[in-house]
């Protein structure tokens, strides 16, 4: 499958990050701590930050985690990347 180039964007703040992944921004700490949402604070302070590419991978992981039967094409692409 052909790779589609993606521009890297850094989201700043719980509103932007959670807007991208369609989650409630009030739940950002839970998403980071319990669900592994890939967000960080610069030097442990300030707004949360996250890259769109990391968030897309996180959403795919969440899909595979909760979707009972992962489509065959997803399993094939995942195994190609791991191997």
Q: What is the DSSP letter of 4?
A: P
Look up the pTM and report it.
0.75
Beta strands in the chain (DSSP E): 10-12, 40-41, 48-51
Tell me the sheet residues that pair with 41: 48
What CATH number was assigned to the domain covering residues 10-82? 1.10.1660
R_g of the chain computed on alpha carbons: 14
Report pLDDT for 10.
96
Task: Write the pLDDT tens digit of every residue in 34-72.
Answer: 999 999 999 999 999 999 999 999 999 998 888 877 666
How far apart CA 72 and CA 36 sit, in angstroms, is 25
Spatial separation of the C-alpha atoms in residues 26 and 38, rounded to whole Å: 16
Query: Which residue ranges make up each domain of the chain?
Result: 10-82
């Amino acid at each position: 499958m052909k790779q589609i180039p993606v521009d890297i964007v850094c989201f700043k703040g719980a509103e932007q990050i959670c807007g991208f992944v369609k989650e409630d921004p009030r739940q950002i700490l839970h998403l980071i701590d319990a669900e592994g949402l890939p967000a960080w604070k610069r030097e442990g302070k300030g707004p949360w930050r996250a890259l769109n590419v990391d968030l897309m991978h996180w959403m795919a992981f969440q899909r595979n985690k909760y979707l009972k039967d992962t489509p065959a094409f997803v399993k094939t692409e995942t195994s190609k990347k791991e191997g």
